[in-house]
Amino acid sequence: MMDKKSPLLEVIGLNIEFHDHLVPETVVYDFDLTLNEGEIVGIVGESGSGKSMTALAIAGLLSRHDMEKKGQILYEGMDLLSCPRAQLRKLQGKEIGMVFQEPMTSLNPVKKIGWQVEESLRLHTQIPKEERKETALSLLKSVELTEAEKVYKMYPHELSGGMRQRAMLAAAIICEPKLLIADEPTTALDVTIQAQIVKLLKKINEQKKTAILFISHDLSLVSRLCERVIVMQGGYIVETGSSEEIFENPKEEYTKKLIAAIPKCVRK
Amino acid sequence: MSMKKKKNYNLIAGGILTGTMLLLIMIGIFYTPYDPNAMDPAAKFAGVSLAHPMGCDNFGRDVFSRVLQGSRTTLFVALCTVTIGTVFGIALGAVTGYYGGILDEILMRINDAVFAFPSLLLALVFISILGPGRNNVIAALGIAFVPSFARIVRGEFLKYRNMDYVKSAKLQGAGDWRIMFVHILPNAMPVLLSAIIIGFNNAVLAEAGMSYLGIGVQPPEASLGRMLSEAQSYLFTAPAYAIFPGAVIIWMVLGFSLLSEGIGAESEK
């Protein structure tokens, strides 16, 4: 029913170029992406393929002066690359949330978990303190953290990696953003926790209709979670298509290699 | 460090020394045995006695009362100096460390130029322009102290500005000021706290040194350095007059040093 509406996020011809050496160095070439509301799209590729750079650019976190960005990043029709900083800041946290790779460094070591989860609410709304706490607690529960009350008062060093990543997730979605960027959220975690986090992302997507841009080098995870996949190599898009298409019937040599690299469990 | 289960003796000793000093100064605000400036010709150079626990000076003023008042002056000057140094140091260090770029380059080169002068010499220059007196000493030492704090804070900000939690704060929509002072500054606090206490040390010594040279606190107001310089002429006739103010300076400096060491060890755990 909402098919006629313009997509939530549209990236057209994005180029990212570094100027910190004598010769400009391009890390992302002509990146295109459309993401509709409530959709999950995955970006896969090896290290250095430019997938994280793309994510940071979409999140508006690449604002270094030695870097040039060409193209358009349209969020609900507004170009994030050319809009003023203040307007971008209004979107950040409220409309766009992000989870990082390293749960060890993505939480501030001197602030309590509760404080950090509430930060977006504090910045974007005028909700009174008690309500903020209630919202934070209910979110901590919804990301399946047991003993939310206790976690609320804890410092990051008191939590395990998986718990921290859950807390991060809670902080990212507390304002109910329409877009969640997950930059390798499971890479630093062990396999069982990985599966739980992926399940959690799926749950968030289903319940809140949050669109997710999932970035990973792990094809099997991406195939489980995403409807559409973009394969990147060396800054270029190699192949795009629906998850099934790519996995059943890969066209490019690189994609075939990536799929062949997934370890298989052979039962005797 | 091997401080794991051991008690932090530095912290305890420093706390006790500084604590008793502060207590004495506090008492000195409300009560001194004699008026610090009252002269009693009969008691000139009186030795240590029950009536005058630290003896009397060349005008027959009670040294104990003057030490109480003098250490208050010294500590007040140190407090103001360190406050000026810290506030401006944090502002400068935060802005340069967080933004970097050309602004950082310009401000830090100015900073380096100021830093290149010994702080006492720099303060002397300011005093010779502003004229002697307590408030001018505070201003001069305060300015001389800014660069070292700015450097420390800048170093910390450089370290933290690219951390993921800073990115994530940015992504939550926090503005630059909020990120600098709410998200990053608390992380720099342990290092800064040590530096502040060491700064106290330097300020106490610098104030004593300037008053000793006669360009700091002006008579009749008492200050530890001033008393030392006055006692110098009577070193052999009335040694107590020099010993006690000197001992109090050592007491203060030792207390602050131990406290700073202790806090440093505590934050490394």
* A171 contacts chain B (CB < 8 A): yes
**B76 within some domain:** yes
B259 and B18 in contact (C-beta within 8 Å)? yes
Among all residues of chain A, which has the CA nearest to that of B101?
A65
**B35 within some domain:** no
* B171 contacts chain A (CB < 8 A): yes
Contacting residues for B61 by C-beta, under 8 A, at least 6 apart: B34, B36, B37, B38, B39, B40
What does CATH list as the number for A9-260?
3.40.50.300
* pLDDT, position A63: 64
Tens of pLDDT, residues B38-80:
677 766 766 677 667 777 777 777 778 888 888 888 888 888 9
Among all residues of chain A, which has the CA nearest to that of B185?
A110
Contacting residues of B for A91, CB less than 8 Å apart:
173
Decide if B164 and A102 are in contact by the 8 Å CB cutoff: yes
How far CA B85 is from CA of B75, B89, B105, in Å, comes to 15, 6, 20
Among all residues of chain A, which has the CA nearest to that of B167?
A61
* A109 contacts chain B (CB < 8 A): yes
Decide if A96 and B171 are in contact by the 8 Å CB cutoff: yes
Chain centre distance of CA A57: 12
For the record, the structure tokens of A249 come out as: 């019937």
Residue with tokens 């008062």: A153
Closest to A180 (Cα-Cα) out of A73, A86, A99, A234: A99
* pLDDT, position A127: 82
Number of other CB atoms surrounding residue B241 within 10 Å: 26
**B49 within some domain:** no
Indicate the residue of A61, A107, A109 with minimum beta-carbon distance to B171.
A61
* pLDDT, position B88: 93
- ipTM comes to 0.77
* pLDDT, position A249: 79
Residue type, B10: N
Contacting residues of A for B163, CB less than 8 Å apart:
105
Measured CA to CA, the distance from residue A201 to residue A179 in angstroms comes to 12
Decide if A120 and B175 are in contact by the 8 Å CB cutoff: no
Measured CA to CA, the distance from residue A140 to residue A244 in angstroms comes to 33
**B38 within some domain:** no
Strands A9-18 and A25-35: antiparallel
How far CA A217 is from CA of A49, A179, B232, in Å, comes to 10, 20, 76
Number of other CB atoms surrounding residue A17 within 10 Å: 15
* pLDDT, position B4: 53
Decide if B186 and A97 are in contact by the 8 Å CB cutoff: no
Tens of pLDDT, residues A94-140:
888 888 888 778 888 888 888 888 888 888 888 888 888 888 888 88
* A243 contacts chain B (CB < 8 A): no
Question: ∠ at Cα A93 (A91, A96), nearest 5°?
Answer: 65
**B173 within some domain:** yes
Contacting residues of B for A110, CB less than 8 Å apart:
186-187, 189
Q: Which of A89, A108, A183 to mutate to test the interface with B (most CBs of B within 10 A)?
A: A108
**B36 within some domain:** no
Along the 269 residues of chain B, how does pLDDT read in single tens digits? 444 556 788 888 888 888 888 888 888 778 777 777 767 776 676 667 766 777 777 777 777 888 888 888 888 888 899 999 999 999 988 888 888 888 888 888 888 888 887 777 888 888 888 887 778 888 888 888 888 898 899 988 888 888 888 888 888 878 788 888 888 888 888 888 888 888 888 888 888 888 888 777 777 777 888 888 878 888 887 777 788 888 888 888 898 888 888 887 877 76
Decide if A89 and B165 are in contact by the 8 Å CB cutoff: no
Measured CA to CA, the distance from residue B130 to residue B141 in angstroms comes to 12
- Sheet containing strand A211-216, edge to edge, reads A96-99, A179-183, A211-216, A40-45, A228-233, A236-242
Cα torsion B212, B214, B216, B217: sign: positive
Tens of pLDDT, residues B230-260:
788 888 877 777 888 888 888 888 988 888 8
Q: Average pLDDT for residues A80-95, to the nearest whole number?
A: 79
Chain centre distance of CA B126: 18
Q: State what percent of residues in chain B have pLDDT above 90.
A: 4
Chain centre distance of CA A187: 13
* pLDDT, position A33: 84
DSSP at A62: -
B98 and B166 in contact (C-beta within 8 Å)? no
Return the H-helix or E-strand segment holding B125: helix B119-130
Indicate the residue of B165, B173, B178 with minimum beta-carbon distance to A106.
B165
Strands A96-99 and A40-45: unpaired
Say how many domains are in chain B: 1
Decide if B163 and A105 are in contact by the 8 Å CB cutoff: yes
Residue type, A63: S
Residue with tokens 């921290």: A164
Distance from CA of B19 to the nearest CA of A (A): 28
Domain range enclosing B99: 9-24+61-268
Q: Give the domain CATH number at B151.
A: 1.10.3720.10
Strands A179-183 and A211-216: parallel
